[in-house]
Amino acid sequence: MIRILAGIGALALLFTVSAHAERDFSGTTASGAYYRIAVPDTWKSGDTLILFQHGLTFEPPGPNPDLGPIETLQLSEGYAIAASSYSQRTWALFTAPDDNAQLLAAFKQQVGTPGAIIPYGGSLGGLIALKLAEDPRFAPVPGVYSACPPAAGARVWDTAIDLRLAYDVVCKGAGNLPTGAAPYPWAYNLDDIPANLTDLLDEAQLLQTLLPLNQCTGVNLPDYLRNGAMVRRLAQLMNLANITSEKFFVTNAGYATYALSDLVRAPDKLDDLSPFSNIGVDYGDATINADIARIQGDPFASLYFHWSSDFRGRIDPATRVISIQTSQDQLVIPANQYVLRQTLPPNQLTSALVNEATPTHCGFTAAEGVAGWEALRTWIASGVQPGVGDVQNECNAAVGAGAAGPCRYDASIVVPTFDSQVRPRPAVSTPTIDASYSGQWFDNARNGEGIALEILAGNKALLYFFTYPPPGAAGKQAWLTAVGDVIGNGIEFSDVQLPALDATGKFVSQHWGRIGITFSDCNEGAMRWDGPSAWGSLEVPLSRITSLQGLGCGIQGGTPPSANAASGAWYDPAEFGSGFVFEQIDTQNVATVWFGFDAGGNPVWLSGVLQQVADGSFGGTLGQGLGPHFGAAYDPAALRFVTQGTLSSTRFQCAGGSAQFSAVPGQPGYITPSLALTRITFPLGLPMCGP
């Protein structure tokens, strides 16, 4: 999680590489991140671009970001390299993918379009590199080079919160740390974080600011000046955190105070919401178990934190990953490689550790750093996956070419499980989000507003939010839509879109904000939205209104009745920008929402229930909810429901269908009279169309 690969970041390669001419570009992106680009003169559109990712730093974004420790070698091999400073300091995962997307756009504009992208980074940058491979904006990604990544994502911070809370027990009255604002006294207020912090591996810098740590443990004192209580307290805290190096104890204390506080307090991260829970954690120490503060995280903060931080392995099957690790790292512990090995299939990952005698964080020799890169290049070119021995051979070749060694890759190193090194969180009774969660949901106190939710394959979900504009905004209704990620017992919709028609009548949409949904069970949950200033943020409870036929709560296995042919999102290609969400409640009824626009280009939605008629088609009235305003100003008493017309002769034939709409005389007639419908989605659990 530190800024560069500590062992090779400051070293110039000691072996000769071929000379090359180079073009350089720099600037800032819309997010405020700085970027730097280096391009060999031989590079042309269609060639490969390396996106280098730096590690964690407390420094604010600055110009001329580092292009990585093997920049000279990579440029000589014909690769272009680009790097972003990120628009965030410290745990920059909340914005780093977007910062890289803006960097890629700048590269395309100034240089050309790459044919492939290889993300590469160390420490926090190693995790960001992995997450870029999951992001379709960077495809194709033939390979990822990830050095000592905190692959456990959000869970790597459990060590920090445990150490911070245990400190208050062990050091009570013997070096108390400053307290922050309620309800998180264990998190410093932002103003209390020293302004001169840069590198949390700088032990001297940290100890100047963490004076209470020294008062409690004597960690900065020679042995003969430490009293027995100091020695006991230091051993107790180091044992809890599985740390044997006093230097790394100080570094981890820095993360447990300053970095943890920035993560929780900073408005560009979790903004005074904590994702951390330690209810039921066994610390293996009777005193700590009895006296430690037990905290419960905010479910939406936890959802957002995991979405931003976790690598879920959703990469292209053709993407190859090489990850290297130092064997005694006590900051980003080797057990992160265990997590990575559990996340990716063996044929996509070569995970290699160097056997070090003294603990370092990412302390590779120059030759070891080159070896992982060259092994990845060979794998991409040949399709033959290297083993740890092959990486060691690449290292020996680099030493032979003049790079500083030694070479210490060792296939015999056994990587421990993550839970054996970081106190596991007890299993909680959270629901598994499956096909049964598709349906309509609403807040009982906000009748007339709600969501249509579809759980899709691949841990994805589709959301339509049918609501109203905020006070003062144009139009009488509003609807939002998004595709999100299922994460644990929640769904994160990070890119909610607000649709509109432009002056020419063309459908457009813009980023509106984010929505998170968590569930307590199959029928109850909660939703939080964070939209533009005019829309604001709010948390509301959710209750189920409908479920899809054959997919209700508790229904396991079996195939839904073939009559469930309606459920999904549909549209008429001739009416792009409008469409339907149909939900087959049972063989006789289909819950229906139509979304589109009025003559002025303002969003409109209609809803109703269609019933099966004698000829097997479905029909029923659709009405328009009017009156309330979005957000805290919502008044269900203002709701009135106006019938707008009848949808009839509605037929569904798996992937295609048809319908007729007749407007009530005097009403706008929003929907085209004759519709040829095409299916957009198949909710999870429904049979796909056959051949």
pLDDT in tens, 503-548: 888 889 999 999 999 999 999 999 999 999 999 999 999 999 999 9
Residue 298 has pLDDT above 50, yes or no: yes
The tens digit of pLDDT for each residue in 233-262 reads: 999 999 999 999 999 999 999 999 999 999
Burial of 575 (C-beta count, 10 Å sphere; 0-12/13-18/19+): middle
| Span 400-427, average pLDDT | 95
pLDDT value, residue 12: 36
pLDDT value, residue 20: 60
Burial of 396 (C-beta count, 10 Å sphere; 0-12/13-18/19+): middle
pLDDT value, residue 198: 77
Phi, psi (deg, nearest 5) at residue 220:
-100, 5
The tens digit of pLDDT for each residue in 648-672 reads: 999 998 889 999 999 999 999 999 9
Query: Residue 619 in contact with residue 611, Cβ under 8 Å?
Result: yes
Q: Is residue 254 helix, strand or coil?
A: helix
| Span 181-206, average pLDDT | 86
- Please state, as a whole number, how many other Cβ atoms lie within 10 Å of the Cβ of residue 426: 11
Residue 203 has pLDDT above 80, yes or no: no
Q: What is each CA distance from 23 to 36, 75, 81, 82, 108, in whole angstroms?
A: 11, 11, 11, 12, 14
In angstroms, the CA 79 to CA 68 distance is: 13
Residue 13 has pLDDT above 50, yes or no: no
In angstroms, the CA 495 to CA 482 distance is: 6
Q: Which residue in 66, 102, 81 sits closest to 22, CA to CA?
A: 81
Q: What is the mean pLDDT of the chain?
A: 92
* Token pair listed for 675: 């519709």
* Token pair listed for 172: 């009570």
- Distance, C-alpha 18 to centroid of its chain: 40
Look up tokens 């980003």; give the residue: 332
pTM of the model: 0.92
Q: ∠475-477-481 over CA atoms, to 5°?
A: 120
| Span 333-351, average pLDDT | 98
pLDDT interval class at 11 (50, 70, 90): very low
Residue 113 has pLDDT above 90, yes or no: yes
| Span 14-25, average pLDDT | 64
- Please state, as a whole number, how many other Cβ atoms lie within 10 Å of the Cβ of residue 635: 11
pLDDT interval class at 1 (50, 70, 90): very low
The tens digit of pLDDT for each residue in 251-292 reads: 999 999 999 999 999 999 999 999 999 999 999 999 999 999
Query: Residue 180 in contact with residue 195, Cβ under 8 Å?
Result: no
* Token pair listed for 451: 């969501």
* Token pair listed for 69: 């420790």
Q: Render the burial of 89-98: b for 16+ CB within 10 Å, e for the rest.
A: bbbbbbbbbb
The answer regarding whether domain 22-151+311-400 maps to CATH 3.40.109.10 reads no
* Token pair listed for 497: 């879109």
pLDDT value, residue 503: 82
Q: For residues 624 and 430, which has the higher predicted lDDT (pLDDT)? A: 624
The tens digit of pLDDT for each residue in 565-574 reads: 799 999 999 9
Q: Residue ranges of the domains in the chain?
A: 22-151+311-400, 157-293, 435-679
Q: Determine what percent of the chain is predicted with pLDDT higher than 90.
A: 84
pLDDT value, residue 579: 96
pLDDT value, residue 167: 97
Residue 38 has pLDDT above 60, yes or no: yes
The tens digit of pLDDT for each residue in 614-637 reads: 999 999 999 999 999 999 989 999
In angstroms, the CA 412 to CA 441 distance is: 53
Q: For residues 13 and 612, which has the higher predicted lDDT (pLDDT)? A: 612
* Token pair listed for 223: 């042995």
Q: For residues 19 and 328, which has the higher predicted lDDT (pLDDT)? A: 328
- Please state, as a whole number, how many other Cβ atoms lie within 10 Å of the Cβ of residue 235: 12
Q: Is residue 71 helix, strand or coil?
A: helix
Amino acid making up residue 280: G
In angstroms, the CA 90 to CA 51 distance is: 19
Look up tokens 């599985």; give the residue: 242
Residue 16 has pLDDT above 50, yes or no: no
| Span 75-92, average pLDDT | 97
Lowest mean pLDDT among 15-29, 296-310, 388-402, 667-681: 15-29
Q: Which residue in 365, 508, 345 sits closest to 69, CA to CA?
A: 365
Query: Residue 79 in contact with residue 68, Cβ under 8 Å?
Result: no
The tens digit of pLDDT for each residue in 150-176 reads: 999 999 999 999 999 999 999 999 999
In angstroms, the CA 1 to CA 332 distance is: 7
Look up tokens 């929003």; give the residue: 670
